[in-house]
Amino acid sequence: MGVPDYQTLMLPLLRATADGADHRIADLIEQIAAELHLTPEERDQQLQSGQRVIFNRSHWAVTYLAKAVVLERSARGTVRITERGRQLLAEKPSKIDVKRLSSFPEFVAFRTRTASASPEPLEHAASQTPDELLDSIYAVQRRSVEADLLDHVLSGGPDFFEQLVVDLLVAMGYGGADPGASRRVGKSGDDGIDGVIDEDKLGLDAVYIQAKRWDPKRPVSRPDLQAFAGSLQGQRATKGVFITTSRFTEEAREYVGRIPSRIVLIDGLTLARLLYDYGIGVRDYRQYLVRKVDTAYFEGDV
């Protein structure tokens, strides 16, 4: 039968979590492979990138189920069923696919965001040139990865998030090559500072970091930024970065624009984009060499 497509894998994956316990995604994949009676050759079937097909398709299925909030990421690499997921299984569906998940507003919002990354909807691909189509597919795939990346960040603990933020800023070039120029200081009694990156070797100028791993429904408000600005004053600092997995209210953004301290705001969508751009929490797994005809060669101008 071969490895089913990712939509076909959605229902068995959700059923495998019906007990309400936390499940490692890797364990679920092996369980589903056994239930589907996949042969060793089918289990080992690989994409050009070297990733197993069953692994790739199962992870995309989990991503879509999580975006529809029928699964939730309870920890790194771990998921569990939600109340919505239980209700969906109670309906005894014959299949779960993108059409079925589109009945949930969170999934529709996710699909709208990923589709907006494309210059033209992929269903109109016939009207696109090959170059335009390639750009569209890349944009949609990237936006999907960014959304999944943010889910993984939210499933990590506060200490993990604070370190991730420091790692990102170092990857962006803050602190130079000195490994001691950056440090995570988040702890009880940290005066609202989660990390520090020295911009010079003597530590005379530094960037102070506030990291908030908050649910997207809980925005960062003006009082939160006022507290951070006060922490900067307590450190006699003039530069700060406030990073959150959520978003900032308009009042909060206006406040930052009026105060003397320089505070850069990075919301969840921007964070996911920066993590992708600077290779934090992601890895390269496939490359295509795209060539075109060298007309100069054929025209004799070589």
Which pLDDT score, from 0 to 100, does residue 79 have? 93
Integer Cα distance of 244 and 145 in angstroms: 18
Residues 145-172 pLDDT 10s: 898 898 889 888 888 898 899 889 889 8
Question: Residues 44-51: what's their mean pLDDT?
Answer: 79
What would the mean pLDDT of 213-228 be, rounded to a whole number? Answer: 92
CATH 1.10.10 occupies which residues in the chain? Answer: 6-116
Give the pLDDT confidence score for residue 115 in this predicted structure: 61
In the chain, which residues fall in CATH 3.40.1350.10? 158-277
Report whether pLDDT(201) > 80: no
CATH of domain 6-116: 1.10.10
Beta-carbon contacts of residue 27 (< 8 Å; ≥ 6 apart): none
Report the first-to-last Cα separation within the chain, whole angstroms: 52
Amino acid 118: pLDDT: 47
DSSP 73: E
Give the mean pLDDT of the chain. 84
Q: Which residue has the higher pLDDT, 99 or 112?
A: 99
Contact (CB, 8 A) for 181 and 187: no
CB-based burial, 226-241: b 16+ in 10 Å, e otherwise: eebbebbeeeebeebb
Task: Give the pLDDT mean for 53-74.
Answer: 91
**What was the pLDDT predicted at 119?**
44
Say how far apart CA 27 and CA 22 lie, in whole Å: 11
Percent of the chain at pLDDT exceeding 90: 46
- pLDDT exceeds cutoff 90 at 268: yes
Long-range contacts of 173-180 (CB under 8 A, 24+ apart): 174/199, 174/207, 175/199
**50, pLDDT greater than 80:** no
Q: What pLDDT was estimated at residue 302?
A: 45
The hierarchical CATH code for the domain 158-277 is: 3.40.1350.10
**The two three-digit tokens of residue 72, written as one number:** 């939730």
Q: Is the dihedral of CA 238, 239, 244, 246 positive or negative?
A: positive
Give SS3 for 212: strand
Structure tokens at 26: 């890797």
Model pLDDT, residue 128: 62
Spatial separation of the C-alpha atoms in residues 244 and 269, rounded to whole Å: 9
Helix (H) and strand (E) counts in the chain: 13, 8
Q: What is the pTM of this model?
A: 0.66
Give the whole-angstrom CA distance, residue 21 versus residue 96.
Answer: 21
